[in-house]
Chain A
């Protein structure tokens, strides 16, 4: 948090010295993006808060925590492959899930499949590249996302 404040402050000062008009334009663009995404983020916070109240943390940790093993990995990969969530919402959500006991490798699989595998958008992909390529790319991405998660599990406790 402090680091973010320092980085933002430094960038802002540098940008302001460099070009005032560009800085103003950048701030305006940032503010617009922020306002556009705010209602969605608020909704996600509300829904997640209520869900986490209804589902006890031990259960979530059991499903997706350190001890969840392969089932947790697979579940995260499937959810990530099917979901259509933008990064601006996925990362805050993932942050909340980590606080509720979900392990980092599981989050890595969720994020990786979310970014790389798109089952819902496969028809769109197929129209550009054909079904064969869409199927191969998505399957490869799914498998490699699991591999990334497994390596993450090995490496996480080493550093």
Chain B
């Protein structure tokens, strides 16, 4: 029931398109047939063959490397080791950037340095291991590697600039409660 509520619009579009597809095939409606036989068929075969494999990998990754394990090791971590741990934690998480903010708050309360908070936010928005399969699958290894290699220095640069900016100002993360 919750599933139907959440996907109401999507299901409406899928049903409408199915009816349109059926109508097009039945009456030989040309634009409809072109959509079905052209783009739609290419995309759907690609997705249906690749998605299940990707989600098998994501599921396995989730049970073998739970992020709680890494989170436990991040306390007052500072310096390079702290940065690496914080980045590793960020890489293991999924979700949109605003999901990183509450975690950043927790890290801050645990004594994570300001620079590492910025590294965490940057790393979170660069690379997510569960998503990497997706990126490589749809855009290729060359694209993924180049993008990641180019974004890493950007993340470090942004963290550096922001840390410098806050050197003489007060920096605080608030919780939403």
Contact = CB atoms under 8 A, between A and B. Distances in A.
Contacts, number: 203
A23 B64 CA distance: 9
Given A30-B55, A33-B58, A137-B162, A94 B138 contact: yes
A18 B64 CA distance: 10
Contacts of B14: 39, 42-43, 46
A4 B146 contact: no
Contacts of B125: 115-116, 141
Of B154, B157, B175, B176, which is in contact with the most chain A CB atoms at under 10 Å from its CB? B154
B123 to A, nearest CB: 11
Contacts of B54: 4, 8
Contacts of B147: 108, 111-112, 148, 152
A74 interface: no
Interface string A131-159: 00100110011001101100110011001
Interface of A: 1, 4-5, 7-8, 11-12, 15, 18, 22-23, 25-31, 33-34, 36, 38-43, 45-50, 52-53, 84, 86-88, 91-92, 94-96, 98-99, 104, 107-108, 111-112, 115-116, 118, 121, 124-125, 127-130, 133, 136-137, 140-141, 144-145, 147-148, 151-152, 155-156, 159
Interface of B: 3, 7, 9-11, 13-14, 17, 31, 34-35, 38-40, 42-44, 46-47, 49-64, 94-98, 101-102, 104-105, 118, 121-122, 125-126, 128, 131, 133-135, 137-139, 142-143, 146-147, 150-151, 154, 157-158, 161-162, 165-166, 171-176
